[in-house]
Amino acid sequence: MIDVRLLRHDPESVRVALARRGTPELLQQLDAAIALDEQLRQITAERDGIRASVNEFSKKVGQARRDGDTELADRLQVESRSLGETEKALAERFEAVQVQLRDVMLRLPNTPSAEAPDGAGDHDNPVIKGPLQMPASFPDHRRIAHWDVAAELGVLDNERAVKLSGAMFTMQRGAGAQLSRALCQYALDRNADAFEEIRPPSLVTTATLTATGQLPKFAEDAYAIERDDLWCIPTAEAPLTSMYSGEVLDESQLPLRLMAYSPCYRREAGSAGRDTRGMLRSHEFDKVEIFALSTPEQAPEMLMELRDRAEALIGGLGLPYRIIEICTGDMGQSHHRSFDVEVYAPGCDSWLEVSSVSWFSDYQGRRADIRYRRTGEKGTHIANTLNGSALAVPRVWAAIMENFREVDGSVIVPDVLRPYMRGVDRIRPKG
């Protein structure tokens, strides 16, 4: 969340930054947060004054009893009790206002980086690199949607997935399942030089999802297991971010790099039937995440490292791709600065986001209470968090089916994936 001290000492800079997101309601929320924080400070001052008076009355009561003036002592004690009741009421009011302030602060998004481009929505996201590996034209046999390609090959069985789990679940079969697994192993292997592999839990607590910003704002998009107060993770970013929650790291440990394969679960509330065919949008999918904790000074360079690694994975597959930077009006809740890697799918005739790489400044670190101590300094600082989709399976899988389809209907397996495919270098039609 945003540092509440900024609201007290420099509210105008926060207002200007949030205004860049293009949502007027945010400024109303900001005003509400500033007002609630002011209430807290007024209550605190009043409560502290009463506590001082109660302490003074206690001294006077003791002195009156020592002097043998019982009547005065009793009268002072009655006044002290009255002040005590007032203090109790103020404490209850303080807790109520504090809860209100925390709720507003949790819903306020991060402030955009000064380097993030301004814009109203996704149509304003500038292309900063590419298109690369883009052919001059695509032959007709590669203008077939991946769901038709996959059906012909017998490698995607969404009908049975729906029978098992309901709408918007997918199921790969045979070489299609191998391809999904190969993509994940490829992403893990290519980042193993610098990132520690983690296999985090797929179910996490409310506090864990709150730390990354999914809760409370995006509760409708998450799968909840209410009986146990657990949530299915929407991405490995959630458990990786909270691994060091409540801890203090040494500056020498930063930047700290982690990566994880995990299944991801999203209810896709409000998708309203968009992109529900094939593999483009589903309730469950596999993804490899790369993640970093850093100091503020290390963060800009780390952001570029994560972006370069995501790009290298897609480039290594031989897919046509480009990189866009996310403008202020299209940024996610927690994002400070973000980039997307997109691949072109000729069968869908569209650019598909396959990786999102983001810097969250200290927004998530403050929610998760992740701190570090600088060498030779007293006190602690909030760590910065960054993450990227090293490789999200569904859309990359779909793009492979469309970009590498041959005239005979077979699909060529990219060279970098063949070591994981048990000798399969081409997925052929059955029969």
pTM equals 0.91
Q: List, as own/partner pairs, every contact residues 164-173 make where C-beta atoms lie below 8 angstroms and the sequence separation is at least 24, other chains included.
A: 165/283, 165/284, 167/276, 168/268, 168/276, 168/281, 168/282, 168/283, 169/282, 169/283, 169/284, 170/278, 170/279, 170/282, 170/284, 170/285, 170/394, 172/397
220 CB-contact burial (10 Å; exposed 0-12 / middle 13-18 / buried 19+): exposed
For residue 81, what pLDDT is reported? 84
What are the beta bridge partners of residue 204? 231
Q: Which distant-in-sequence residues (6+ apart) come within 8 Å of 297 by Cβ? A: none
Return the CATH superfamily for domain 4-107. Serine-tRNA synthetase, tRNA binding domain (1.10.287.40)
For residue 76, what pLDDT is reported? 78
Instruction: Kindly state the tokens that stand for 17.
Output: 């930054």
321-325 and 127-132 beta bridge pairing: antiparallel
Domain range annotation of the chain? 4-107, 122-427
What are the pLDDT tens digits along the chain (431 aa)? 999 999 999 999 999 999 999 999 999 999 999 999 999 999 999 998 988 888 887 888 788 788 888 888 778 788 878 888 888 899 999 999 999 999 999 999 999 999 999 999 999 999 999 999 999 999 999 999 999 999 999 999 999 999 999 999 999 999 999 999 999 999 999 999 999 999 999 999 999 999 998 898 889 999 999 999 999 999 999 999 999 999 999 999 999 999 999 999 999 865 555 566 899 989 999 999 999 999 999 999 999 999 999 999 999 999 999 999 999 999 999 999 999 999 999 999 999 999 999 999 999 999 999 999 998 899 999 999 999 999 999 999 999 999 999 999 999 999 999 999 999 999 998 76
Residue identified by tokens 């060091």 is 244
CA–CA dist 125, 322 (Å, integer):
12
C-beta separation of 345 from 320 below 8 A: no
Q: Supply the CATH classification number for the domain 122-427.
A: 3.30.930.10
For residue 380, what pLDDT is reported? 97
For residue 301, what pLDDT is reported? 98
256-265 and 196-198 beta bridge pairing: parallel
CA–CA dist 242, 232 (Å, integer):
15
For residue 217, what pLDDT is reported? 84
C-beta separation of 405 from 144 below 8 A: yes
For residue 321, what pLDDT is reported? 98
CA–CA dist 240, 198 (Å, integer):
8
